[in-house]
Chains A and B, each alone.
Chain A
Amino acid sequence: MKRFSQQFHTAAKRVTMTKAESRDLRERLTAYMEYHPLPEAMRTPQAKVATGALASEPFWVVRFNTMRTRALASVATLVVLIIVPFAAEQTVPGDVLYPVKVRFNEEIRSSLALTPYQQVEWETKRVERRLAEARLLATEGKLTEAVEAEVAAAVKSHTDAAQAGLAELRESDSEEAAIAELTFASALEVESEVLESETARHEAAGASTTATLAATIADARAAVASPAATEVSFERLLAQVEDETTHAAELLLSLREDISMQERADIDRRLADIDRKIALALESREIETVESVEVVTSTSTDETATTTVETIVAPVVDEATAKQYLREALQATQKLIRFMTDIDVKANVSVEELVPVTPTDDERKDTLELQLLQIERQTGAIASQEALSEKTVFGLAQVDELVEKVERALVVKEYATAESAAADALALLADMARVSAEVPATPSESATSTEAVVEEAEDPESPTEPEPPATSTNAVAEPDQPEEPAEPEV
């Protein structure tokens, strides 16, 4: 019997699974167990350990990673890279996250500004941001001197960086540099306007002022004022102006619903002014080109042809003036855009302060006529006084002269001349009125400010002048003449 069962058994022993089959089967089984785990109630702490130990390695690692580590890591990344910088954007100096804003957000943004032009743009933007923060602190009354000094230093470093960018740009592309400089200058102008009104308001309220900042901006403006802008070509400038005005028009369109009728009208008016300036610039340039053509023809033809050319040349404005118009238009547009986009600026400064209205010819005529009426009334008032001193009489004569000049200028549409003459007359009258009010008996003891004007009136040249028909050159030159010999009499 032993023999049989032994033989039988050893024969049977040869029937086994191969190692591979055995391993496969075991893996199938553990996988099955993992997908069909024990219910929660049956799991002991030991059981959990056991699950870890029995589970095949890849399962174990993957499950742990996805569930815990990865979730934690992604949440941490989210917080560090998105939420913190986002929160930091709203901070002001003194806040915990403020350094994140300045040293992380803005530095990253800086590194994205690749060209010097973008760099200048961004540094300008940073100046604006610093000042906005300072204003915010000031309105909350938290702007201490230390903080202000800090902000001023930051502004200084940003403007310096912008200047450096400009210098770099000037070497590679002078036209671009000129445009960038214009933009920078108008941004600074806006800022200083805002700061001025701010300072005035705070001084009135006795609160902390932003005077230091204003000084810093003034320094920066002085540095920019160095004229390098002439290098830009007319076409380039025109393109930039077109670009900016389109932007401004779009902005206005999008804001239409949100601003008051008054504001909309104001902005419309400024845009119209800018358009007129552009038209003026284009016009003067066109005439110039015509002139150059005619000059060529005139060389071959007779004397009469040349004279006709000269009459055309007379009203011509040269290219530099055309560019000046464009430059003004550009800066006005940029300021307007800033006004429309920046709530802070809008709250602090009126449009008029930022971009004064450029009156049209008709408007100028109207105001001049009004001024003439005013002058007439005032002269009448002074003349009706009983005792007229010698000086007053002389002054009145001078005023008459000026009025005459204004009227003449109006006829030939020399508004600039007319305006300056009218202003002189008004000033003169105001001084006379004051003299007669303060010291009616002793007019010779008048205040120094009066003297200057009266002296001007005593100028021997202008009253006796025979007044030839006002040519353009004469009319322009005249208002300056009275001031030149202002010294002699005391």
Chain B
Amino acid sequence: MSGTSKDNGALSHEERFLAAYDEYSDALFRHAQLRVSDRERAIDIVHDTFTKVWSYVRAGHEIEQFRPFLYKVLNNLIIDSYRKKRESSLDALFEKEGIDEGTFAELSESTVESLAATIDGKKAFALLEKLPDEYREVIILRFVDGLGPKEIALLIEESENTVSVRIHRGLAQLRKRIHAAEAASESKRSTKT
């Protein structure tokens, strides 16, 4: 990993671009893979992300910071690929309508953290796929890519509030599902014996 994009301004465009690739390609892939749940497509999306960014560079635009820019492009591409897959899912429609600005409790970062503390990380990760993309996106950005709520808000073009609410609800859902799964396995065991 060769420094950040800021301190290699003296380098050529190509060098900066490839340095960005070396630094972020893995993280981008991980993100894409968790979002689309398809290895091949994830790789293609990462590839498309970089070619798009390169075209942007060629067009004469200066990129100050590669990371947010790359995530932005990647995110758009992932959404594009969803649209292709299922133009309008019931799930998404329902979630969109059901979204509100959130309550005060949900907005507090500490409550998010306290909620998170009650969840088994491994199990939560395994169940990530089951979450609606709305929540999955923010949870991945928050816990896998390690972005702050502010950055996420910029990236997905929502308010910081919304981001925090989504994270909170996502976690809540995860916990619910974990419990449901545990309960299911409990009942299975009890019926067996």
Which residues of chain A have C-beta atoms less than 8 A from B15's C-beta?
46, 50, 54
Which residues of chain B have C-beta atoms less than 8 A from A13's C-beta?
30
- A26–B57 Cα distance when bound, in Å, is 17
A129: shortest Cβ distance to chain B, in Å?
62
Question: Which of A36, A46, A51 is close to B54, meaning CB atoms less than 8 Å apart?
Answer: A36
Q: Is B114 engaged at the interface, CB distance under 8 Å to the other chain?
A: yes
Q: Is A39 engaged at the interface, CB distance under 8 Å to the other chain?
A: yes
Q: Is A25 engaged at the interface, CB distance under 8 Å to the other chain?
A: yes
Question: Which residues of chain B from 52 to 74 have any CB-CB distance to chain A below 8 Å in the complex?
Answer: 54-55, 57-58, 60
Residue from A4, A13, A17, A29 with most neighbouring chain B CB atoms (10 Å): A4
Question: Which residues of chain B from 155 to 186 have any CB-CB distance to chain A below 8 Å in the complex?
Answer: none
A83: shortest Cβ distance to chain B, in Å?
42
B152: shortest Cβ distance to chain A, in Å?
15
Tell whether, in the assembled complex, residue B29 and residue A16 are in contact, meaning their CB atoms are under 8 Å apart.
yes
- A10–B120 Cα distance when bound, in Å, is 12
Question: Which of A5, A33, A51 is close to B143, meaning CB atoms less than 8 Å apart?
Answer: A5
Write out, one digit per residue, whether chain A residues 28-68 have a CB within 8 A of any chain B CB (1) or not (0): 11101100101100111011011100100000000000000
Write out, one digit per residue, whether chain B residues 113-133 have a CB within 8 A of any chain A CB (1) or not (0): 110110111101110000000
Tell whether, in the assembled complex, residue A29 and residue B50 are in contact, meaning their CB atoms are under 8 Å apart.
yes
Which residues of chain B have C-beta atoms less than 8 A from A1's C-beta?
113-114, 116-117
Q: Is B18 engaged at the interface, CB distance under 8 Å to the other chain?
A: yes
Tell whether, in the assembled complex, residue A7 and residue B122 are in contact, meaning their CB atoms are under 8 Å apart.
yes
Tell whether, in the assembled complex, residue A16 and residue B26 are in contact, meaning their CB atoms are under 8 Å apart.
yes
Tell whether, in the assembled complex, residue B121 and residue A51 are in contact, meaning their CB atoms are under 8 Å apart.
no
Q: Is A9 engaged at the interface, CB distance under 8 Å to the other chain?
A: yes
Q: A1-B114, A17-B43, A33-B54 are in contact. Are A12 and B18 (CB under 8 A)?
A: no
- A13–B26 Cα distance when bound, in Å, is 10
- A29–B51 Cα distance when bound, in Å, is 7
Tell whether, in the assembled complex, residue B43 and residue A12 are in contact, meaning their CB atoms are under 8 Å apart.
no
B90: shortest Cβ distance to chain A, in Å?
28
Q: Is A115 engaged at the interface, CB distance under 8 Å to the other chain?
A: no
- A387–B29 Cα distance when bound, in Å, is 141
Tell whether, in the assembled complex, residue A28 and residue B54 are in contact, meaning their CB atoms are under 8 Å apart.
no
Interface size class of A (residues with CB under 8 A): 35 or more
Q: Which A-chain residue is minimally distant from B54 (CB atoms)?
A: A33
- A50–B10 Cα distance when bound, in Å, is 12
Q: Is B47 engaged at the interface, CB distance under 8 Å to the other chain?
A: yes
A5: shortest Cβ distance to chain B, in Å?
5
Question: Which of B12, B21, B114, B144 is close to A50, meaning CB atoms less than 8 Å apart?
Answer: B12
Q: Is A473 engaged at the interface, CB distance under 8 Å to the other chain?
A: no
Question: Which of A15, A21, A29, A43 is close to B30, meaning CB atoms less than 8 Å apart?
Answer: A15
Which residues of chain B have C-beta atoms less than 8 A from A43's C-beta?
12
Q: A4-B116, A36-B58 are in contact. Are A12 and B13 (CB under 8 A)?
A: no
Tell whether, in the assembled complex, residue B143 and residue A8 are in contact, meaning their CB atoms are under 8 Å apart.
yes
Q: Is A109 engaged at the interface, CB distance under 8 Å to the other chain?
A: no
Q: A4-B117, A17-B43, A29-B21 are in contact. Are A12 and B51 (CB under 8 A)?
A: no
Q: Is B25 engaged at the interface, CB distance under 8 Å to the other chain?
A: yes
Q: Which B-chain residue is minimally distant from A13 (CB atoms)?
A: B30
Q: Which B-chain residue is minimally distant from A21 (CB atoms)?
A: B43
Chain B residues with a Cβ closer than 8 Å to the other chain, count? 39
A10: shortest Cβ distance to chain B, in Å?
8
Q: A12-B125, A12-B144, A17-B26 are in contact. Are A36 and B55 (CB under 8 A)?
A: yes
- A385–B82 Cα distance when bound, in Å, is 141
Which residues of chain B have C-beta atoms less than 8 A from A17's C-beta?
25-26, 29, 43
- A38–B15 Cα distance when bound, in Å, is 12
Tell whether, in the assembled complex, residue A8 and residue B114 are in contact, meaning their CB atoms are under 8 Å apart.
no
Tell whether, in the assembled complex, residue B120 and residue A7 are in contact, meaning their CB atoms are under 8 Å apart.
yes
Which residues of chain B have C-beta atoms less than 8 A from A15's C-beta?
29-30, 33-34
Tell whether, in the assembled complex, residue B12 and residue A46 are in contact, meaning their CB atoms are under 8 Å apart.
yes
Which residues of chain B have C-beta atoms less than 8 A from A54's C-beta?
14-15, 18
Question: Which of B17, B18, B119, B146 is close to A4, meaning CB atoms less than 8 Å apart?
Answer: B119
Q: Is A204 engaged at the interface, CB distance under 8 Å to the other chain?
A: no
Q: Which B-chain residue is minimally distant from A47 (CB atoms)?
A: B12
Which residues of chain A have C-beta atoms less than 8 A from B126's C-beta?
11
Tell whether, in the assembled complex, residue A39 and residue B122 are in contact, meaning their CB atoms are under 8 Å apart.
no
Q: Which A-chain residue is minimally distant from B110 (CB atoms)?
A: A1
B51: shortest Cβ distance to chain A, in Å?
5
Which residues of chain A have C-beta atoms less than 8 A from B57's C-beta?
38
A283: shortest Cβ distance to chain B, in Å?
94
Can you sample 23 A-B contacts with CB below 8 Å? A5-B143, A7-B120, A7-B124, A8-B124, A8-B125, A8-B144, A9-B121, A9-B143, A9-B144, A12-B125, A12-B143, A16-B29, A17-B29, A17-B43, A21-B43, A29-B54, A30-B18, A32-B54, A36-B54, A38-B13, A47-B13, A49-B12, A54-B15
A12-B140, A16-B29 given; 18 more Cβ-contact pairs under 8 Å: A1-B114, A3-B121, A4-B119, A10-B121, A12-B34, A15-B34, A16-B30, A17-B26, A28-B47, A29-B21, A29-B50, A29-B51, A38-B14, A38-B58, A42-B60, A47-B12, A54-B14, A54-B15
* Residues of B bordering A, CB below 8 Å: 11-15, 17-18, 21, 25-26, 29-30, 33-34, 43, 46-47, 50-51, 54-55, 57-58, 60, 113-114, 116-117, 119-122, 124-126, 140, 143-144, 146
Shortest Cβ-Cβ A-B pairs, 6 listed: A7-B121, A11-B125, A47-B12, A1-B113, A8-B121, A12-B144
